[in-house]
Amino acid sequence: MDHPLSVYNSLTRSREQFIPLNAPHVGLYVCGPTVYGDAHLGHARPAITFDLLFRYLSFLGYKVRYVRNITDVGHLENDADAGEDKIAKKARLEQVEPMEIVQYFTLRYHHNMEQLNVLPPSIEPRASGHILEQMQLIQKILDAGYAYESNGSVYFDLEKYAKKYPYGQLSGRVLDDLTSQTRDLDGQDEKRFPLDFALWKKASSKHIMRWSSPWSEGFPGWHLECTAMSTKYLGETFDIHGGGMDLLFPHHECEIAQSTASLGHESVRYWLHNNMITINGQKMGKSLGNFITLNDSFAGTHPLLQKAYSPMTVRFFILQAHYRSTVDFSNEALQASEKGLQRLLEGISVLDKLTPAANSTISISGIEEKCLQAMNDDLNSPMVIAHLFDGLRIIHLVNDGKETLSESDLQQLQKVYHQFAWDILGLKEEQTSDRMELISGLVNYILDRRMEAKAEKNFAASDRIRDMLKELGVEVKDRKDGFDWKLEN
């Protein structure tokens, strides 16, 4: 198959013509979420970026096997080799089984993805369902001489590996610099070299999620699952590996080292990374108070948002930036996206109702080619959107009776808009957003009146409002500078 799609490969730092390995089949692996909390804007970006790629490759006629994992074990706090497992910690705090946490947040993640019109992957493997494959991979790395056992744990021997293979090429890091920056952390005494990373960790007596292995009762290291599951489902060499830029180091560097050590060669042909989302120019973080979950955005329940923004507005907002550039999320930017999306959807609805004439007085040629060119240019979705906006001019001229389109031209134009807006960009009409917007507007209005009552020290009125909202299922949380609220489940 000959398609001029070019993609930016993070490893070679260059544009490369995408040529599928086993045409027409394409193997695509994307690092999925660690399911211990609700999905936030940082999860939406890779999900939408690789949905765009999945949709476009499918549109071009490729058969894509898209694997996106669920991390449900082994991801420790601070992404390090020490500290508590993120899921086990949540389970301990909530006094439930770790797998209840996994089930609860996986279902909520799927719901959010459906709201964003992100297509489900072909396979969604879980780390805990592939312990055997991970143990086999550890054994292979041990047999190849690039890992060692220490006190029941197994570590990757990075120093030895780096003598034979390059390390740090993907993220542009230099091993010596990294070594000098490494602080003394828990578990360092088990390692021969400070940057060695865990393939298997012996579980402490308090650790809940544990499996028997030849080395100890324990659990796999976080980086291992992606190497084990990608090669299991996509083969020892596959086409595309994607993820957020925050995963470049150490996660993806470790994946490269693991597959190279066990197979003698790298598995991935093209590495694609989406850039990050900032909020009002700042990094997103729980401690910064700007941690916006998708549910917050859809309901307008975060203090940084003036109102609810529908899933399609969030999707459109993300697609309006090229995946390799940063996106700054703000109330104003979302408002602009909401207006833009509305203009596009209204235009398509006008297009669908146009009546054909005997002949065309205006040319529609070029729109489809331009959109295809933009997509082939490293998935330039903002350019596709710009071309679709340009085309709206023709639609409105015909609708106003100033120009005409023949039946075949009209059908062609409808086909182009449906293909690009619906099938490739994955946009759709929404009905529910208006209602949520109304609820969110009303609750915010009532809570502003409550703030006024408090300012006047009328605490009886302020409490009455809070109790009344609680009875209606609105949970209000006071903050220093205002309030948070959410609808009880």
Chain residues binding Zn ion by CB under 5 A are 31, 226
Cβ closest to Zn ion, residue 226 vs residue 394: 226
Q: Find out whether 6 and 377 touch, Cβ atoms under 8 Å.
A: yes
Indicate the residue among 31 and 44 with the shorter CB distance to Zn ion.
Answer: 31
Residue among 31 and 312 whose Cβ is closer to Zn ion: 31
Phi, psi of 69 (to 5 degrees): -85, 165
Task: Provide, rounded to whole angstroms, the least separation between the CB of residue 411 and Zn ion.
Answer: 44
Query: How far, rounded to the nearest angstrom, does the alpha carbon of residue 451 sit from its chain's CA centroid?
Result: 36
Give strand pairing partners of 34.
71
| Beta carbons of 383 and 374 less than 8 angstroms apart | yes
Minimum CB–partner distance for residue 231 and Zn ion (Å): 13
Task: Determine how many CB atoms are found less than 10 A away from the CB of residue 147.
Answer: 28
| Residue 26 near residue 239, CB atoms below 8 Å | yes
**Closer CB to Zn ion, residue 118 or residue 425?**
118
* Residue closer to Zn ion, measured from CB, 39 or 334: 39
Q: CB within 8 A of 429, min separation 6: which ones?
A: 345
d(CA 199, CA 257): 12
Tokens (6 digits) for 280: 């009002």
Q: Least distance to Zn ion from the beta carbon of 31, Å?
A: 3
What is the CA angle 198-202-205, rounded to 5? 140
Q: What CA–CA distance (Å, rounded) separates 169 from 297?
A: 37
Around Cβ 283, how many Cβ atoms within 10 Å? 11
Give which of 158, 411, 434, 140 is closest to 312, Cα–Cα.
434
List C-alpha distances in Å: 431 to 115, 311, 312, 317, 368.
12, 11, 11, 18, 29
Using CA atoms, how far apart are residues 183 and 189, in angstroms rounded to an integer? 12
Cβ nearer to Zn ion, comparing 226 with 334: 226
In the complex, what is the shortest distance from the CB of residue 396 to Zn ion, in angstroms, rounded to a whole number? 46
DSSP 182-207: ----TTGGG-SSTT--EEEEEPPTT-
- Report DSSP state, residue 473: T
* In the complex, least distance from residue 111 CB atom to Zn ion, rounded to whole angstroms: 22
Whether 193 and 33 have beta carbons less than 8 Å apart is answered as no
Shortest distance, position 51 Cβ to Zn ion, whole Å: 17
In whole angstroms, how close is the CB of 166 to Zn ion at the nearest point? 20
* Beta carbon nearer to Zn ion, 201 or 273: 273
- CA–chain centroid gap for 246, Å, is 11
Pick 226 or 234: Cβ nearer Zn ion: 226
22 vs 238: CA distance, rounded Å:
9
For the CB of residue 101, give the shortest distance to Zn ion in the complex, in Å. Answer: 19
- Determine the Cα–Cα distance for residues 181 and 179; give it in Å rounded to an integer: 5
Q: Which is nearer to Zn ion, 31 or 294 (CB)?
A: 31
Residue 452: Cβ within 10 Å count:
12
Are 439 and 310 contacting, i.e. CB atoms less than 8 angstroms apart? Answer: no
Pick the closer one to Zn ion by CB: 31 or 351. Answer: 31
Q: How far is the CB of 251 from Zn ion (least distance, A)?
A: 5
Residue 293 tokens, joined: 């979950």
* Nearest-approach distance from CB 68 to Zn ion, in angstroms: 10
85 secondary structure, DSSP code: B
Minimum CB separation from Zn ion for residue 254, in Å? 9
State the nearest-atom distance from the C-beta of 229 to Zn ion, in Å: 9
Q: Which lies closer to Zn ion via its Cβ, residue 70 or residue 226?
A: 226
Closest to Zn ion by CB, 105 or 417:
105
Instruction: Please check whether residue 398 is in contact with residue 409, taking contact to mean a CB–CB distance below 8 angstroms.
Output: no
